[in-house]
Amino acid sequence: MTLAATATATATLAATHTRGFLSPTGVEIAFLLVGLVTFGAALVTVTTKQLVHAALWLVVALGGIAVEYLLLTAEFIAWVQVLIYVGSVVVLLLFGLMLTKAPIGRSPDADSGNRWAALTVAVAAAAALVWVVVDAFRATWTDLDGPASGSTAVTGASLFQNWVLPFEALSVLLLAALVGAIVLSRKSKAESSSPPVNSRPATGSSPSVPDSRNHTIGRKGAVEGNGPSSPDNPAEKEGAR
Amino acid sequence: MHLVYPAVLAALLFCTGLYGVLARRNAILVLMSVELMLNAVNLNLVAFDVWLSRTAEDKLHSGQALTLFTIAIAAAEIGIGLAIVLAVHRARGTSDIDKLRDTAEGHEMDGPDSDPAGSDGPEPPAAEKAEATA
């Protein structure tokens, strides 16, 4: 719906230019086709009822964006996209779906009750953004001929000549995120695997078994922060370091 | 290439992710939609960086450097987010963000112990035990 409006708006706005919309180059046709596939995959990702299928359609959307990077001659970004997003983020999401025991098959409550409000907000935002963007850049062209402006040599030289300090700060941020993820999962495991009054012993079972929701005292200790499991926390934190 | 193509695609992807964040109920699906929004921003950054490097002779390549930083931060974000979702799922037994209303106003609970996950009845713990022992 918005895509058709976008296409017509683009046609009417760009037809007046010398390089008209109706005579697109091969790169533009390829970009348009891959963009349609990407947008369709994104739409299926946010509307499907099957949670695992949403993650798999996300692979298509992210791979389509990687192809768009290649068409924009940003080769290094494209392969980084394939490696990190398709390779690790989607695998992490699939692991998350598996560990939270997401239902296989259709789950009818995948969408919230405020779906129509969300659709209104999204369509309004899309209309506003597309109108502003088309109006602003209708006479702007990128010359993609010549050497690639995003090859590994160019990107590496720029990154290590001009962006060294943010790069190193980013490595510290990644380390902090790594430690934070470990601490988050270890703390919850320590709280859930030390039941104080329950007859079920902590036998080092799998961490995905939610012990603490079967008895309220462990959860109250988790909420108040001074429960019976709090003496374990410094040791766990030191172990995480 | 007309600059409108990547800009419009990025806008549409961003709004798709916006719809997903607002309309989805599972926390991991919300994280997927956040990834879509971040990718839309990355596409904008790359497109405008290529445009600036061709027309304005920009040698800084700030758009591509920022894209790399955004990808790294998105990877960190998805790791922390999934750790939080797993911790919430362990403590509460659900990853449904509509049921995590402890800090919401106007939805007073009976006490601190009567979480909404307990209102599901005895069925989900039995299912989880059966799945754990299987």
By residue range, what is the domain housing residue A108? 2-149
Same domain assignment for residues A56 and A112: yes
Asked if B56 reaches chain A (Cβ–Cβ under 8 Å), the answer is no
Q: What is the pLDDT of residue A4?
A: 54
pLDDT in tens, A70-94: 999 999 999 999 999 999 999 999 9
Same domain assignment for residues A145 and A170: no
A152 CA to chain B: closest CA distance, Å? 11
Asked if B26 reaches chain A (Cβ–Cβ under 8 Å), the answer is yes
Please give the angle made by the CA atoms of B76, A172 and A207, to the nearest 5 degrees: 45
pLDDT in tens, A187-231: 655 555 554 444 444 444 444 444 444 444 444 444 444 444 434
Cβ within 8 Å of B, A 52-71: 54-55, 58, 61-62, 65, 68-69, 71
Tell me the CATH number at A73: 1.20.120.1200
Tell me which residue of B132, B33, B37 sits closest to A214, measured CA to CA: B132
Phi, psi of A76 (to 5 degrees): -65, -40
Same domain assignment for residues A86 and A204: no
Q: How far apart are CA A77 and CA A70, in angstroms?
A: 8
For A193, B6, B90, the CA distances from A206, given in Å and listed in that order, are 9, 46, 11
- List the single residue in A with minimal CA-CA distance to B79: A181
Q: How far apart are CA B121 and CA A30, in angstroms?
A: 53
User: Does residue A161 fall inside a structural domain?
Assistant: no
pLDDT in tens, A24-82: 788 999 999 999 999 999 999 999 999 899 999 999 999 999 999 999 999 999 999 99
Contact across the interface for A93 and B78, Cβ inside 8 Å: yes
Q: What is the pLDDT of residue B70?
A: 94
Tell me the residue type at A120.
T
Provide the domain count of chain B. Answer: 1
Please give the angle made by the CA atoms of B118, B122 and B124, to the nearest 5 degrees: 80
Same domain assignment for residues A78 and A190: no
User: Does residue A157 fall inside a structural domain?
Assistant: no
* pLDDT bucket at A132, cuts 50 / 70 / 90: very high
Q: A198 and B97 in contact (C-beta within 8 Å)?
A: no
Cβ within 8 Å of B, A 132-151: 133-134, 137-138, 140-144, 146, 149-150
Q: What is the pLDDT of residue A1?
A: 47
Q: What is the pLDDT of residue A231?
A: 40
Least confident of A6-20, A123-137, A219-233, B33-47: A219-233
- Best mutation target among B39, B49, B119 (most A Cβ atoms within 10 Å) is B39
Contact across the interface for A170 and B26, Cβ inside 8 Å: no
User: Does residue A198 fall inside a structural domain?
Assistant: yes
Q: How far apart are CA B16 and CA B33, in angstroms?
A: 8
Which residues from A are below 8 Å from B16, CB to CB? 39, 42-43, 45-46, 122
Q: What is the pLDDT of residue A106?
A: 81
End position of a domain, from candidates A82, A114, A149: A149
- Per-residue three-class SS string for chain B: CECHHHHHHHHHHHHHHHHHHHHECEHHHHHHHHHHHHHHHHHHHHHHHHHHHHHCCCCCCHHHHHHHHHHHHHHHHHHHHHHHHHHHHHHHCCCECCCCCCCCCCCCCCCCCCCHHHHHCCHHHHHHHHHHHC
Phi, psi of A25 (to 5 degrees): -80, 175
Q: Which of A58, A93, A150 sits opposite B64 (nearest CB)?
A: A150
A236 CA to chain B: closest CA distance, Å? 16
Cβ within 8 Å of A, B 64-103: 64-65, 67-69, 71-80, 82-87, 89-93, 95-96, 98
Q: Which of A32, A84, A154 sits opposite B61 (nearest CB)?
A: A154
Tell me the CATH number at B76: 1.10.287.3510
User: Does residue A158 fall inside a structural domain?
Assistant: no
User: Does residue A140 fall inside a structural domain?
Assistant: yes
**Residue B121 pLDDT > 50:** no
Same domain assignment for residues A11 and A80: yes
A75 burial (CB, 10 Å; 0-12 / 13-18 / 19+) is middle
A228 CA to chain B: closest CA distance, Å? 16
The question of ipTM being above 0.90 is answered as no
- Per-residue three-class SS string for chain A: CHHHHHHHHHHHHHCCCCCCCCCCCHHHHHHHHHHHHHHHHHHHHHHCCEHHHHHHHHHHHHHHHHHHHHHCCCHHHHHHHHHHHHHHHHHHHHHHHHHCCCCCCECCCCECCCHHHHHHHHHHHHHHHHHHHHHHCCCCECCCCCCCCCCHHHHHHHHHHHCHHHHHHHHHHHHHHHHHHHHHHHHHHHHHCCCCCCCCCCCCCCCCCCCCCCCHHHHHHHHHCCCCCCCHHHHHHHHHC
Contact across the interface for A137 and B7, Cβ inside 8 Å: yes
- Length of chain A, in residues: 241
Same domain assignment for residues A136 and A225: no
- Output the pTM of the full model: 0.73
Rounded mean pLDDT of chain A? 76
Contact across the interface for B15 and A123, Cβ inside 8 Å: yes
Cβ count near A104 (within 10 Å)? 11
Which residues from A are below 8 Å from B19, CB to CB? 46, 118-119, 121-122
Same domain assignment for residues A175 and A104: no
Q: How far apart are CA A142 and CA B1, in angstroms?
A: 5
Same domain assignment for residues A173 and A116: no
User: Does residue A46 fall inside a structural domain?
Assistant: yes
Asked if A199 reaches chain B (Cβ–Cβ under 8 Å), the answer is no
Contact across the interface for A118 and B47, Cβ inside 8 Å: no
Same domain assignment for residues A134 and A170: no
Provide the domain count of chain A. Answer: 2
Same domain assignment for residues A30 and A140: yes
Asked if A106 reaches chain B (Cβ–Cβ under 8 Å), the answer is no
By residue range, what is the domain housing residue B89? 4-133
Average pLDDT over residues B58-87: 91
Q: What is the pLDDT of residue A77?
A: 94
Same domain assignment for residues A45 and A139: yes
Same domain assignment for residues A123 and A171: no
Q: A10 and A20 in contact (C-beta within 8 Å)?
A: no
Q: For chain A, give the longest Cα–Cα distance.
A: 80
Tell me which residue of B119, B68, B26 sits closest to A97, measured CA to CA: B26
Rounded mean pLDDT of chain B? 81
Q: What is the pLDDT of residue B34?
A: 95
